[in-house]
Structure 1
Amino acid sequence: MEENKLTPRAQLKTYFETGKHPTQNQFSDLIDSLRHKEDVQTKRELVAFVNRMAYIDNAFVYYSANNVGDLEMQIVITSHDEEDQVITIRDSTKVGTIRQFLLGSGPYTITIEKITGGSNLKETEYYSFGYQLGDNYYVRKLFGNNLPVIPDGYDFGELKNYNVPIDIHKEDIQQKINIVNTNIKFINKTEIPIQYRAYSQYWGDKYKTEDSITDHYDVWDFLYIYYNADLRAINQSIQCNVYDADHDTLLTTGILNAGQSQETWWGGQVEKVRNIRIECNYSVDEK
């Protein structure tokens, strides 16, 4: 068979019709039309394959890791119908954004298996790690130098999208930063599922329903509060009050409007407080 000229499937099938005796050349045509597991794809074949994948509705992780030196982060993607897939995120400064398609079908769980390297930081430099879980919000953390590395087994959280962007880069904060903790107690007095999340500069948490403790940074000792709730099925709004738990004083209020659903209801801002309590209840102003 002429090199790179494949025999069509329909013609190959005719070689093996009942009563026929395939010739040596016909067997050769069949073998040459198949791909052996030891065959190495050419660059042209690989580019064509990737271009075809771009039009298929496959989930994928895409990441950029700029100027991170020898830092490497291994993440594990788990689905219910495939073996775990391990992706190693490493410096991509020269090649730009890397896209890796995911095996199996959703829902997916993504966790950090381990982080290695990353010792070439100046005194005020840190690694900034962030990823997008939904259309409207990111999770972000700093690590390196005096800040602890993100622990093995860290769970990315509930994935809203099938395409997950991840960003790691080196950031010079121009000063040393430290972790501060705020205890958050969450009380939902309604029958509507409500999640909350806290967010600050270079730091953001996942949506939660349970009590939590932040580990944001002293240089930006404030927290933005957001809520995630679907109120389309009810005709009464919900009010979420944030209190200074140490002094039992109201700090800020967020209103979740009846008949609407949002992933990022604004809940207000609190500053330099170590213990807060969030209470959500049906709005008393509703008629």
Structure 2
Amino acid sequence: MEKNELTTREQLKKYFETGKYPTQSQFSDLIDSLALKEDVMTNKEAAILANRLARIDNAFIYYFTNSIEDLKFSVVVSSQDEEDQIITVKETNNAVVKQFLLGSAPYTIKTKKISGERLQETEYYLLSYQINQSYTIYRMFGNNLDTFSEGFEFGELDNIGLPIQISKGYYGKKINVLNTSVKFVNKTEVPIQYRIQASGWGSIYRIEDTVTDHYDLGDYLNFYYNADLIKVSQSIKCEIYNADNDELLTTGYLYAGQNQNSWNGGQIVEVRNVRIECNYSADEK
């Protein structure tokens, strides 16, 4: 009976010890032990490889899509010790596709190519992704929405997995971009980050001033803060003002002795120019 077992690594090494002359069959053993580019794995071999990968700490992207047959959406993943890796998100009919990332963290992700979309006048693509497991970022694109384009930075991956979802939706109207300028002033010694969420739109945590490009699906902005106050004895309040007339719009409290990455900072509606001021609080509620 023909043996299907591959020769062990140690046995192969013995074939090529100094002074030995490997035979034709021994060279055949060596070649059969290699994985060549044209080889196609069986389902069993693929399952074994997937199980091995699942037990290591490689980061990965997993995505699922619906109704994006005509869309070509590629992202480029950069790491500190490997060449850039390009991953193309394709139609999956809501099945999950998982792809491991090469190299080591930190990973940064940018869009590489978006093309081939065919949409009705009031249809748009909705993208959602999580570089941090504590919140989801949303972006819409297609038709007149061109703010999400090649070179858009997802941010630095702060998790072992990056979920991406793309779907197509009919909104019944043309969607336009709205811009709100945000100035951030931190008067404390505590590092504080803020992020903004709106309908179909969201941002990463940041400390610098920014300008939103949210949508008129709903002209409102929700604010959240990230700060560690475990070793801080005094609470902090972050007040949001209409920068055009100094009207106080909303106040969020960050409580002493706590560490949270999603402090609720309140909501503002139909304001184009705001200022956030964070200071130690004497009137926490």
Give the structure-1-normalised TM-score. Answer: 0.91
SS of corresponding position for 2:265? strand
Which stretch of structure 1 is more off in the superposition, 30-39 or 103-112? 30-39
Tell me the alpha carbon deviations over residues 53-73 of structure 1, each in whole angstroms, 9 at most, x when there is no partner.
122221001111210121111
The CA distance in 2 between the partners of 1:16 and 1:206, in whole Å, is 56
Overall identity of the aligned pairs, in %: 56
- The answer to whether the 8 Å contact 1:72/1:91 transfers is no
- The answer to whether the 8 Å contact 1:64/1:168 transfers is yes
Code of the aligned partner of 1:246: D
SS of corresponding position for 2:45? helix
Structure 1 residue aligned with 2:70: 70
Structure 2 residue aligned with 1:28: 28
Structure 2 residue aligned with 1:97: 96
Deviation at 1:28, TM superposition (A): 2.9
Structure 2 residue aligned with 1:126: 124
Structure 2 residue aligned with 1:55: 55
- The answer to whether the 8 Å contact 1:242/1:277 transfers is yes
For 1:232, which of 222, 230, 235 is the aligned residue? 230
The CA distance in 1 between the partners of 2:161 and 2:255, in whole Å, is 30
Structure 1 residue aligned with 2:184: 186
Deviation at 1:18, TM superposition (A): 5.9
- The answer to whether the 8 Å contact 1:76/1:113 transfers is yes
Q: Is 1:242 aligned to 2:229, yes or no?
A: no
Deviation at 1:22, TM superposition (A): 4.2
SS of corresponding position for 1:236? coil
Deviation at 1:116, TM superposition (A): 0.7
Code of the aligned partner of 2:191: P
Code of the aligned partner of 1:30: L
Structure 2 residue aligned with 1:201: 199
Deviation at 1:17, TM superposition (A): 5.2
Deviation at 1:113, TM superposition (A): 1.5
Structure 1 residue aligned with 2:166: 168
- The answer to whether the 8 Å contact 1:254/1:265 transfers is yes
The CA distance in 2 between the partners of 1:105 and 1:129, in whole Å, is 26
The CA distance in 2 between the partners of 1:18 and 1:248, in whole Å, is 84
Deviation at 1:265, TM superposition (A): 0.6
Which stretch of structure 1 is more off in the superposition, 176-185 or 234-243? 176-185
Tell me the alpha carbon deviations over residues 161-180 of structure 1, each in whole angstroms, 9 at most, x when there is no partner.
12100111001122222211
**Does the C-alpha gap of structure 1 residues 21 and 160 become closer, same or farther in structure 2, counting only changes over 3 Å?**
closer
Tell me the alpha carbon deviations over residues 63-88 of structure 1, each in whole angstroms, 9 at most, x when there is no partner.
11210121111111000100000111
- The answer to whether the 8 Å contact 2:180/2:211 transfers is yes
Deviation at 1:45, TM superposition (A): 2.0
The CA distance in 2 between the partners of 1:217 and 1:259, in whole Å, is 37
- The answer to whether the 8 Å contact 1:128/1:143 transfers is yes
- The answer to whether the 8 Å contact 1:242/1:251 transfers is yes
Deviation at 1:38, TM superposition (A): 4.1
SS of corresponding position for 1:156? strand
Q: How many residues align?
A: 284
Deviation at 1:156, TM superposition (A): 0.7
SS of corresponding position for 1:70? coil
Which stretch of structure 1 is more off in the superposition, 173-182 or 246-255? 173-182
SS of corresponding position for 1:234? coil
**Does the C-alpha gap of structure 1 residues 22 and 219 become closer, same or farther in structure 2, counting only changes over 3 Å?**
closer
SS of corresponding position for 1:229? strand
The CA distance in 1 between the partners of 2:82 and 2:19, in whole Å, is 42
The CA distance in 1 between the partners of 2:17 and 2:175, in whole Å, is 76
SS of corresponding position for 2:76? strand
**Does the C-alpha gap of structure 1 residues 151 and 16 become closer, same or farther in structure 2, counting only changes over 3 Å?**
closer
- The answer to whether the 8 Å contact 1:237/1:258 transfers is yes
- The answer to whether the 8 Å contact 1:70/1:90 transfers is no
Structure 2 residue aligned with 1:88: 88
**Does the C-alpha gap of structure 1 residues 208 and 14 become closer, same or farther in structure 2, counting only changes over 3 Å?**
closer
The CA distance in 2 between the partners of 1:8 and 1:219, in whole Å, is 63
Deviation at 1:23, TM superposition (A): 3.8
SS of corresponding position for 2:62? strand
SS of corresponding position for 2:132? coil
Structure 2 residue aligned with 1:107: 106
